[in-house]
């Protein structure tokens, strides 16, 4: 059911249960916001204390408010996600705290659920492609593991190609594959408004590489503008998502152009986080403020067509009717 509104819940319920079973008093994670929201919720339900390490100022209010309300000890460190991971790894060596980042194998086992449910919903007929966002690369690893296992168990008779999309400003895995043929990953300082995937040193890159190779998938990168437009398109379809999730649609467009995805093929995009996780981004997009913070990005006519800024007016019937007429004329 993903009760905290991101894909992290299926993995977290398994790993938090393991912490509970082992009678840990404290659980902890470093996070860009969704893992911490999920961990805090499951810790609260399981009567455990939770410690959250998040990068100061670089996570959305929706996610921060979740970890506060669920009662976590929330430490905003003056660093990025990768800096939070470094501190956490040292902490768990010194204190009796159970680590709930996606290097925890129970997280990966639980996160396989999305792929298994997907196949069940598709009547065990695999799509040609599955496309996921790539941050710390736990999700692509989990979905890949699930599909490879279902294939081995003959629950499915072929493997979908699993492709991974990163933001251009946070693309260490893309560069690893394209520049070093997957032989090494060079950590980078990451920057993107899709804060969920603002990660420069992904923990599970080797597992993700294996998934890419074994399924024949591709890795792609997308710009901030492409992410913003794709997000608005997903919203305009009545679904909505947070920025990091929209990299999948932006990536699909590129993979169609390059011919990697064919016109007739079936494609599944995994939507990883709810629209309300990051309302600031959405409001800035529709008001046009987002692009002031991205001088290198020039909104296109398509961007303008997707923007729906709120209209402030007097409480006057004529004004509302005039607004209706204007909207009728908008493409």
Give me the DSSP letters along 138-168: HHHHHHHHHHHHHHHTTSSSSPPEEEEEEEG
**What part of residues 81-120 is at the interface with ligand F0G (CB under 6 A)?**
102
> 219 in helix, strand or coil?
strand
- Kindly indicate which of the ranges 30-38, 82-90, 116-124, 283-291 contains the residues binding ligand F0G, using the contact rule CB under 6 A: 30-38
Query: Which residues in 265-284 contact ligand F0G (CB under 6 A)?
Result: 272-273
76 DSSP β-pair partners: 54
Find the shortest distance in angstroms from Cβ 202 to ligand F0G: 7
Residue pair 29/52 in contact (Cβ under 8 Å)? The answer is: yes
**Binding window for ligand F0G (CB under 6 A); candidates: 12-20, 112-120, 132-140, 255-263:** 132-140
Residues 9 and 234: their CA atoms lie apart, in Å, by 22
Query: How buried is 307 (Cβ within 10 angstroms: 0-12 exposed, 13-18 middle, 19+ buried)?
Result: middle
Please identify which residue in 28, 52, 167, 244 interacts with ligand F0G, judged by CB under 6 A. Answer: 244
Identify the CA nearest to 52 among candidates 34, 69, 82, 28: 28
* 138 part of the interface to ligand F0G, by CB under 6 A: yes
Site string for ligand F0G, 179-198 (x = CB under 6 A): -----------------xx-
For residues 216 and 214, what is the distance between their CA atoms, to the nearest angstrom?
A: 6
Q: Are the C-beta atoms of residues 204 and 102 closer than 8 Å to each other? A: yes
Count of positions on this chain that bind ligand F0G (CB under 6 A): 23
The distance from CA 33 to its chain's CA centroid, rounded to whole angstroms, is 10
Q: Which is nearer to ligand F0G, 119 or 143 (CB)?
A: 143
Using CB under 6 A as the criterion, what x/- string covers residues 195-234 for binding ligand F0G? -xx-------------------------------------
Residue 133 lies near ligand F0G (rule: CB under 6 A): yes
Q: Which of 33, 55, 160, 235 binds ligand F0G (CB under 6 A)?
A: 33
Nearer to ligand F0G, 275 or 290 (CB): 275
CB 129 within 8 A of CB 266: yes
Give me the residues that bind ligand F0G (CB under 6 A), please. Answer: 6, 8, 31-35, 102, 133-140, 196-197, 242, 244-245, 272-273
């Amino acid at each position: 059911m993903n009760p905290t509104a991101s894909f992290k819940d299926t993995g977290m319920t398994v790993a938090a249960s393991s912490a509970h079973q082992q009678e840990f008093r404290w659980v902890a994670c470093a996070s860009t916001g969704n893992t911490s929201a999920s961990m805090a919720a499951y810790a609260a339900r399981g009567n455990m204390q939770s410690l959250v390490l998040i990068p100061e100022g670089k996570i959305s209010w929706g996610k921060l408010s979740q970890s506060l309300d669920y009662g976590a000890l929330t430490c905003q460190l003056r660093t990025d996600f990768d800096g939070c991971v470094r501190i956490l790894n040292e902490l768990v060596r010194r204190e009796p705290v159970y680590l709930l980042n996606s290097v925890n194998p129970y997280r990966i086992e639980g996160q396989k659920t999305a792929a298994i449910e997907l196949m069940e919903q598709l009547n065990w007929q695999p799509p040609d492609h599955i496309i996921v966002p790539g941050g710390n690369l736990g999700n692509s690893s989990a979905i890949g593991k699930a599909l490879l296992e279902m294939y081995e168990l003959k629950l499915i008779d072929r493997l979908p190609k699993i492709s991974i999309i990163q933001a251009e400003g946070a693309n260490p895995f893309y560069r690893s594959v394209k520049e070093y043929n997957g032989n090494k990953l060079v950590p980078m300082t990451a920057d993107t408004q899709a804060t969920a995937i603002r990660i420069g040193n992904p923990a599970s890159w080797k597992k993700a590489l294996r998934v890419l190779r074994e399924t024949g998938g591709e890795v792609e990168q997308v710009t901030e503008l492409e992410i913003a437009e794709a997000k608005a398109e997903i919203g305009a379809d009545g679904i909505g998502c947070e920025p990091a999730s929209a990299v999948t649609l932006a990536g699909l467009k590129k993979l169609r152009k390059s011919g990697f995805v064919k016109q007739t093929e079936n494609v599944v995009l995994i939507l990883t986080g709810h629209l309300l996780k990051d309302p600031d981004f959405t409001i800035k997009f529709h008001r046009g403020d987002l692009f002031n913070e991205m001088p290198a990005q020039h909104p296109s006519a398509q961007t303008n067509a997707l923007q729906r800024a709120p209209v402030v007016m007097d409480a006057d019937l004529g004004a509302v009717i005039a607004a209706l007429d204007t909207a009728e004329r908008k493409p």
